[in-house]
């Protein structure tokens, strides 16, 4: 079983005091307890700004790599990673692992909190990686875990009111421009902010604050 460690996504100094301490137990590897949200058609998650407090469970040798892999996959899905002080939502991730026939199973759980520090959604998924070992996170595991995590989080954020409102506004502006010019155009995807904080290295965070 992978020992519990934490890596901070975003500037570690900015996460202190973000969320009140919440009793947390690292989830065991098992089938998801519920069906996760599906991504809303035609809605980019970009309008719902989010800060990742930490991802617990990765060994220290892989923590920074997992953070970077997740950031890359999140940006590819138009997830707007930002400073906790201005985020609409705060998320905390957990990674756990166990043996499975022909490889290993990696459990990924995300708790999503609103700006008032209330948990509003739990995302859980299990990723099977063929020929993988539960106590080792290599590049294949990193990429699959990061990609699935980003997919799941993007789906939830696309259902948030901030994302829906921004996508509606973008579509309305596009329609207005197209009508004025007499040219039909598809809605443009929002451009990711170049000033979004970079994923930092390993940091310890035993609880949300």
pLDDT for residue 58: 85
**What's the per-residue H, E or C state across the chain?**
CCCCCEECCCCHHHHCCCCCCCCCCCCCCCCCCCCCCCCCCCCCHHHCCEEEEEEECCCHHHHHHHHHHHHHHHHHCCCCECCCCCCCEEEEEEEEEEEECCEEEEEEEEEEEECCCCEEEEEEEEEEEECCCCCCCCHHHHHHHHHHHHHHHHHHHCCCHHHHHHHHHHHHHHHHHHHHHCCCCCCCCCCCCCCCCCCCCECCCCCCC
pLDDT for residue 59: 85
Give the span between the Cα atoms of 181 and 154, in whole angstroms: 33
Give the span between the Cα atoms of 108 and 181, in whole angstroms: 47
Asked if 58 and 152 touch (Cβ cutoff 8 Å), the reply is: no
- Per-residue pLDDT of 84-116, as tens digits, reads 999 999 999 999 999 999 999 999 999 999 999
Hey, which residues does 95 pair with through a beta bridge? 108
- Mode of pairing for the β-strands spanning 119-130 and 6-7: unpaired
> Which of 3.40.50, 2.60.120, 3.30.1380, 2.60.40 is the CATH number of 6-12+29-175?
3.40.50
pLDDT for residue 19: 54
* Tens place of pLDDT per residue across the chain (209 aa): 444 434 434 433 334 444 544 434 444 555 555 578 899 999 999 999 999 999 999 888 888 899 899 999 999 999 999 999 999 999 999 999 999 999 999 999 999 999 999 999 999 999 999 999 998 899 999 999 999 999 999 999 999 999 999 988 765 554 444 444 554 444 444 433 333 333 333 333 333 54
Q: Which pTM was predicted?
A: 0.68
Asked if 93 and 56 touch (Cβ cutoff 8 Å), the reply is: yes
pLDDT for residue 84: 95
pLDDT for residue 36: 85
């Amino acid at each position: 079983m992978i020992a519990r460690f934490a890596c901070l996504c975003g500037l570690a100094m900015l996460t202190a005091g973000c969320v009140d301490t919440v009793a947390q137990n690292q989830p065991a590897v098992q089938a998801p307890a519920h069906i996760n949200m599906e991504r809303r058609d035609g809605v980019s998650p970009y309008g719902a700004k989010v800060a990742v407090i930490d991802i617990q469970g990765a060994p220290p040798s892989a923590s920074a790599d997992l953070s970077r892999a997740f950031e890359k996959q999140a940006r590819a899905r138009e997830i707007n990673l930002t400073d906790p002080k201005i985020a609409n939502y705060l998320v905390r991730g957990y990674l756990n692992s166990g043996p499975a026939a022909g490889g290993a199973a990696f459990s990924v759980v995300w708790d999503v909190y609103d700006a008032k520090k209330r948990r509003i959604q739990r995302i859980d998924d299990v990723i099977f990686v063929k020929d993988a070992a539960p106590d080792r996170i290599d590049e294949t595991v990193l990429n699959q875990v990061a990609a699935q995590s980003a997919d799941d989080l993007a789906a939830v954020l696309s259902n948030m009111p901030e994302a829906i409102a921004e996508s509606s506004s973008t579509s309305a502006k596009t329609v207005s421009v197209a009508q004025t010019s007499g040219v039909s155009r598809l809605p443009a995807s929002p451009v990711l902010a170049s000033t979004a904080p970079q994923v930092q290295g390993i940091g310890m965070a035993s609880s949300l604050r």
